[in-house]
C-alpha cells in the first residue's frame, strides 16, 4: 500500500504582527485614526475611531481594503461539508434547553469585528465609527444605515438595544450574574446612534469589546414570533449574516446557504471571506462512523483530533489516488487547556491529596508514545505556549499580587517561593502503570484516610473511593481505560461511564459526574470572562466552570487580571492567575499540539500564508470548481 505524504506548511515570519502583540504597556485607545474631531466632555478627551484596542495602535487603518491574509479574488460558490457528533434538537445555543445544532450562530453579526492576525484589535463592522472617552465610562456606536436583516428589514439602534438587553434578561445565569452589574444605561441617540454607559465597577478594559460583541437581532421579529432566548428553537434567529438555514433533517444533517441579498458582501471586512455557497454538516454517532463517512466522500473536510487516526488511518484509496489532501497547517493560537476535571462538589474530591493521587495515575509519557504516536506535548498551563504562561518561581510583579493573599491565609507561603506546579510526569513510557507514582499516590491516600481493605478497595467512613469518567465519544475509551486500570491498582473504584451525547450534555450542565473531559480555551487578553470559567459566582450553574471551582484566592487574582492596565501588567497578572489555578489541582492536564491536522478532498484552496490565530476553513478558504469537477469525473464521490 502506498504510504501517504503529509504536506507541512511552515508559518512565515510576520514581524509586524509579532511587534504589535508584544509592544506597549501604555494604553492607546484606537488612536491610529481620528475619524472626527476630538472634543471635551468634563475635560475627558474623546476618541472617534474606526476601531478599538487597549494596546498600541490598531493594525488596520480606517481605509483598509480587506484583511491582509485573505485572497480578495477568491471565487464564490461550491459546497464545503464537515461532520458533527451526536444529535441536535435546537438552533439556540444561548439556553440550557435542548442540544444546539452545529454552526447555529452562523447567521449572526456583531457591531465590532475581530481579525485572525490582530489579537488585540476590534474594528467597526455594523458601525462606521465609534466614540469613547479616555475614562471609557461610555461608548457610542455610529451604526451603518445600510445593514439589512435577511428578511430585508433595515437594522436600527433600537434593534441593537434590544439585542444587547435580551441576554441580560433571558440569558444563561452565569452571564447575567457576571455582566448585569456593569451596565448603567443604553440610550438611543438617533436611528443609527447608540450609547452604552457603564457603572463605576465595570472593568474598563473589557467594556468596549463587551458591548461591541452584541449580535444584531430584529426586535420586530422577536415580538412577532414570541421567541424567547431561554427556550429551544427549531430554527436560527433572524440575523444580518451571510448564511441562512437552507434545510434540516433533525439530528442528521444541516445545510446553510449563502444569502444572495446579504448586505455585507462588499464590506472591506468581508472581501475574500464567506466564499462557499453552501455549508453542510453531517451528523454521526461517533468519530469512527464519521471517519468511515469521510473515506466514502459523505463529507469533504475533516479536522482530525485523533492521533491514532492521524498516524495510521489515512492510507485509504481516496488518499492513494490523491483525491484527499492530508496536511499539517501552522497554529499560532494559545495551546488549549484540555484536561480531565474533577467535580469539586463531590465529597471525595475536596481533599487536594486525593486529587493529586488520581492525577499521578495518568501516564502521559506512555500515552503519547503508545497511543498518540508521539504527536503531542503535555499541556501544563491554561495559557500554554504564550506570554501569559507562568514559569518557574514568581516574578516580582506576581509576588505583589500573591503576597496579600498569603498574608490573609488564602494561599500557602510556599506559593511565594516554589516553582509553578507542573503536570505530574511519569518515570516510564514503557508501561501504563508507573510504580513510583503508584507508591506516591498510595501514600497520599493513606494520609487522607482512604485505607485499602482486604479486597484492595480503598474506603473511608465505609464508602469506596469512586472515580467515574463521564464520556460521550468511544474514541476516548482507549485513553480512559488504561487510567481506569491504574486507578483500580491504587484501590480506587474507577470506571468509564459512556453515555449518548444528549445525556452527556445534560449531565455536564447539571454536575452529574465525577470526572469529565473539558477544554478551557483562553485568549490573549484575559478579562471578565474569567469569572465564567473559574469564578465562584459561576460554580453552581456554568457551562464553563464545570469543575465547580470556588476559591477565594482565584477570585481575588481574577480581580487583579480584570483590573490590570497595559500589556505588561495583564501578562503579569495572568501568570499569577495561571500559577494559582495550577496549584488548585482541579484538573488532570492532557495534551496539545501546535499544528492543525486536516484532511480534505482536493477541491478547496487557502491563502499561501495562513494568519497566526485561525485556520479559517469556513471563513477565508474557497472552492476550486475545476478541481471539484475533476474529482467528480474520477469517481471520488459516491
Q: Pick 618 or 541 by higher pLDDT.
A: 618
Within this chain, do residues 370 and 497 fall inside the same structural domain, yes or no? yes
- Point out the domain boundary residue: 165, 198, 225: 225
Q: Which residues contact 162 (CB under 8 A, 6 or more apart)?
A: 217, 219, 222
Per-residue pLDDT at 19? 31
Please state which of the ranges 34-48, 458-472, 539-553 shows the lowest mean pLDDT: 34-48
pLDDT digits (tens, 9 = 90+) for 50-88: 999 998 789 999 999 999 999 999 999 999 999 999 999
User: What proportion of the chain, given as a percentage, has pLDDT over 90?
Assistant: 82
Residue 4 pLDDT: 42
Average pLDDT value for the chain = 91
The per-residue pLDDT for 429 is 86
At residue 21 the predicted structure's pLDDT band, cuts being 50, 70 and 90, is very low
Whether 29 has a pLDDT exceeding 80, the answer reads no
The answer, yes or no, to whether residue 145 has pLDDT greater than 60, is: yes
Sign, CA dihedral 224-225-231-234, equals negative
Residue 2 scores a pLDDT above 70? no
Question: Residue 98's pLDDT band (boundaries 50, 70, 90)?
Answer: confident
Question: pLDDT-based confidence at 108, cuts 50/70/90?
Answer: very high
Question: Residue 42 — pLDDT band, cuts 50, 70, 90?
Answer: low
- Tell whether the model's pLDDT for residue 7 goes beyond 70: no
Domain coverage including residue 494: 338-592
Cβ contacts of 570 within 8 Å, gap of 6 or more: 205, 388, 525, 526, 561, 564
In a domain, 629, yes or no: no
At 142, which CATH number? 3.40.190.10
Q: Report d(CA 48, CA 518) in Å as an integer.
A: 41
Report if residue 143 sits inside a domain.
Answer: yes
Query: Are 197 and 343 in a shared domain?
Result: no
Final residue of a domain: which of 198, 225, 252? 225
Compute the average pLDDT of residues 401-416. Answer: 97
DSSP string, 230-245: TS--SSPPP-SSSEEE
Identify the burial level of 577 via C-beta atoms within 10 angstroms of its C-beta, where 0-12 means exposed, 13-18 middle and 19 or more buried: buried
Q: What is the pLDDT of residues 476-500, one digit of tens each?
A: 899 999 999 999 999 999 999 999 9
More confident of the two residues 529 and 342: 342
Let me know if residue 134 belongs to a domain.
yes
Task: For the chain, give the percent of residues with pLDDT over 70.
Answer: 93
Residues 496 and 374 in one domain: yes
Q: pLDDT (tens digit, 9 = 90+) per residue, 354-373?
A: 999 999 999 999 999 999 99
8 Å CB contact between 51 and 122: yes
Q: Is residue 396 part of a domain?
A: yes
Q: Is residue 603's pLDDT more than 90? A: yes
Residues 334 and 524: beta-carbon distance below 8 Å: yes
- Report the alpha-carbon distance of residue 336 to residue 149 in Å, rounded: 35
CATH at 431: 3.10.105.10
Residue 8 is predicted with a pLDDT of: 37
CA distance linking residue 531 with residue 562, whole number of Å: 10
In a domain, 3, yes or no: no
The number of residues making up the chain comes to: 638
466-505 in b/e form (b: 16+ CB < 10 A) is: ebbbbbbbebbeebbebbbebbbbbbbbbbbbbeebbebb
Mean pLDDT across 612-637 = 96
- For residue 278, tell me if it sits in a domain: no
The DSSP line for 391-410 is -SSPPHHHHHHHHHHHHTTS
In which band, very low, low, confident or very high, does the pLDDT at 501 lie, cut at 50, 70 and 90? confident
Is 530 within the bounds of a domain? yes
Asked whether 38 and 106 are in contact (CB, 8 A), the reply is no
Q: Are residues 356 and 485 in the same domain?
A: yes
pTM, rounded to two decimals:
0.82
Is the model more confident about 52 or about 501?
Answer: 52
Residue 95 pLDDT grade (very low, low, confident, very high; cuts 50, 70, 90) = confident
Among residues 551, 570, 592, the one where a domain terminates is: 592
- Split into its structural domains, the chain has a count of 2
457 is a domain residue: yes
Residues 6+ apart with CB under 8 A from 469: 340, 480, 483, 484, 494, 495, 496, 497, 514, 515, 516, 517
pLDDT of residue 13 exceeding 50, the answer is no
Separation CA 335–CA 315 (nearest Å): 28
The average pLDDT across 406-428 equals: 96
Provide mean pLDDT across the span 160-175. 91
Amino acid at each position: 500500500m502506498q504510504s501517504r505524504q503529509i504536506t507541512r506548511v511552515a508559518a512565515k515570519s510576520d514581524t509586524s504582527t509579532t511587534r504589535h502583540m508584544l509592544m506597549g504597556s501604555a494604553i492607546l485607545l484606537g488612536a491610529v485614526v481620528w475619524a472626527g474631531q476630538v472634543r471635551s466632555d468634563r475635560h475627558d478627551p474623546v476618541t472617534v475611531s474606526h476601531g478599538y484596542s487597549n494596546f498600541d495602535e490598531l493594525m488596520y487603518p480606517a481605509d483598509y481594503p480587506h484583511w491582509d491574509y485573505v485572497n480578495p479574488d477568491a471565487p464564490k460558490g461550491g459546497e464545503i461539508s464537515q461532520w458533527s457528533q451526536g444529535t441536535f434538537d435546537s438552533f439556540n445555543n444561548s439556553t440550557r434547553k435542548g442540544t444546539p445544532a452545529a454552526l447555529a450562530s452562523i447567521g449572526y453579526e456583531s457591531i465590532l469585528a475581530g481579525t485572525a492576525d490582530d489579537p488585540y484589535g476590534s474594528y467597526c463592522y455594523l458601525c462606521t465609527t465609534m466614540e469613547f472617552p479616555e475614562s471609557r465610562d461610555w461608548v457610542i456606536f455610529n451604526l451603518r444605515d445600510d445593514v439589512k436583516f435577511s428578511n430585508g428589514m433595515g437594522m436600527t439602534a433600537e434593534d441593537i438595544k434590544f439585542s444587547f438587553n435580551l441576554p441580560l434578561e433571558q440569558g444563561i445565569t452565569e452571564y447575567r450574574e457576571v455582566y448585569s452589574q456593569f451596565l448603567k444605561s443604553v440610550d438611543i441617540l438617533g436611528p443609527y446612534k447608540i450609547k452604552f454607559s457603564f457603572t463605576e465597577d465595570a472593568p474598563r478594559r473589557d467594556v468596549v469589546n463587551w458591548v461591541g460583541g452584541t449580535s444584531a437581532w430584529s426586535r420586530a421579529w422577536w415580538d412577532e414570533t414570541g421567541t424567547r432566548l431561554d427556550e429551544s428553537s427549531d430554527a436560527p434567529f433572524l440575523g444580518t449574516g451571510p448564511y441562512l438555514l437552507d434545510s434540516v433533517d433533525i439530528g442528521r444533517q444541516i445545510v446553510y446557504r449563502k444569502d444572495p441579498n446579504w448586505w455585507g458582501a462588499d464590506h472591506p471586512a468581508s472581501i475574500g471571506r464567506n466564499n462557499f455557497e453552501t455549508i453542510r454538516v453531517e451528523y454521526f454517532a461517533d468519530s469512527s462512523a464519521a471517519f468511515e463517512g469521510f473515506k466514502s466522500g459523505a463529507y469533504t473536510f475533516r479536522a482530525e483530533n485523533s492521533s491514532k487516526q492521524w498516524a495510521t488511518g489515512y492510507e485509504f484509496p481516496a488518499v492513494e489516488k490523491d483525491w484527499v489532501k492530508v496536511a499539517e497547517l501552522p497554529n499560532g493560537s494559545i495551546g488549549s487547556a484540555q484536561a480531565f476535571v474533577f467535580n469539586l462538589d463531590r465529597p471525595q474530591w475536596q481533599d487536594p491529596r486525593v486529587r493529586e493521587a488520581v492525577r499521578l495515575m495518568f501516564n502521559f509519557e506512555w500515552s503519547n508514545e503508545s497511543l498518540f504516536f508521539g504527536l503531542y506535548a503535555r499541556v501544563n498551563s491554561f495559557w500554554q505556549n504564550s506570554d501569559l504562561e507562568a514559569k518557574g518561581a514568581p516574578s516580582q510583579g506576581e509576588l505583589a499580587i500573591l503576597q496579600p493573599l498569603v498574608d490573609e491565609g488564602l494561599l500557602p507561603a510556599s506559593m511565594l517561593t516554589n516553582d509553578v506546579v507542573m503536570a505530574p510526569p511519569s518515570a516510564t513510557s514503557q508501561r501504563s502503570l508507573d510504580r513510583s507514582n503508584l507508591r506516591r499516590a498510595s501514600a497520599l491516600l493513606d494520609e487522607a484516610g482512604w485505607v485499602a481493605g482486604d479486597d484492595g478497595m480503598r474506603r473511608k467512613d465505609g464508602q469506596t473511593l469512586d472515580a467515574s469518567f463521564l464520556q460521550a465519544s468511544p474514541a476516548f475509551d482507549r485513553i480512559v481505560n488504561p487510567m481506569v486500570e491504574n486507578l483500580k491498582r491504587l484501590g480506587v473504584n474507577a470506571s468509564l461511564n459512556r453515555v449518548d451525547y444528549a445525556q452527556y450534555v445534560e449531565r455536564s450542565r447539571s454536575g452529574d459526574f465525577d470526572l469529565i473531559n473539558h477544554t478551557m480555551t483562553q485568549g490573549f487578553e484575559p478579562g471578565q470572562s474569567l469569572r465564567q470559567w473559574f469564578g465562584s459566582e459561576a460554580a453552581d450553574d456554568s457551562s464553563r466552570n464545570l469543575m465547580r471551582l470556588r476559591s477565594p484566592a482565584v477570585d481575588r487574582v481574577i480581580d487583579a487580571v480584570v483590573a490590570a492596565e497595559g500589556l505588561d501588567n495583564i501578562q503579569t497578572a495572568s501568570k499569577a492567575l495561571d500559577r494559582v489555578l495550577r496549584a488548585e489541582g482541579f484538573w488532570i492536564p492532557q495534551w496539545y499540539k501546535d499544528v492543525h491536522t486536516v484532511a480534505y478532498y482536493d477541491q478547496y484552496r487557502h491563502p499561501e500564508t495562513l494568519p497566526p490565530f485561525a485556520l479559517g476553513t469556513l471563513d477565508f478558504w474557497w472552492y476550486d470548481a475545476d478541481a471539484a469537477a475533476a474529482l467528480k469525473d474520477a469517481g471520488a464521490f459516491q
